[in-house]
Amino acid sequence: MSQRIVIIAGVPGAGKSSVLREAHERRLELFKIVSFGSEMLKLCLEQGLVENRDQMRSLTYPVQKNLQIETAKLISSMEGNILLDTHCTIKTPAGYISGLTDEMLEILKPVAFILVDAHEVEIRGRRKSDETRPERTIEAFADIREHQVINRAFATSFTQKCESLLKIVQNNTGEFELTVEEILQTLDYVTM
Q: Which residues are near its own copies by CB under 8 A?
A: 60, 65, 89, 92-98, 101-103, 112-114, 142, 146, 149-150, 152-154, 156-161, 163, 165-168, 170, 185-186, 188-190, 192
Of the pair 156, 173, the CB lying nearest its own copies is at: 156
Sequence length of the chain is: 192
* Cα 19 from Cα 176, distance rounded (Å): 7
DSSP state of 99: S
Of the pair 60, 132, the CB lying nearest its own copies is at: 60
Residue 94 Cβ vs its own copies, minimum distance, rounded to whole Å = 4
Residues 6+ apart with CB under 8 A from 186: 6, 112, 114, 165, 167
Question: Which amino acid is present at 120?
Answer: E
Residue 97 Cβ vs its own copies, minimum distance, rounded to whole Å = 6
Of the pair 39, 68, the CB lying nearest its own copies is at: 68
Residue 62 Cβ vs its own copies, minimum distance, rounded to whole Å = 10
Residue 162 Cβ vs its own copies, minimum distance, rounded to whole Å = 10
* Cα 165 from Cα 114, distance rounded (Å): 8
Our separate counts of H helices and E strands in the chain read 7, 7
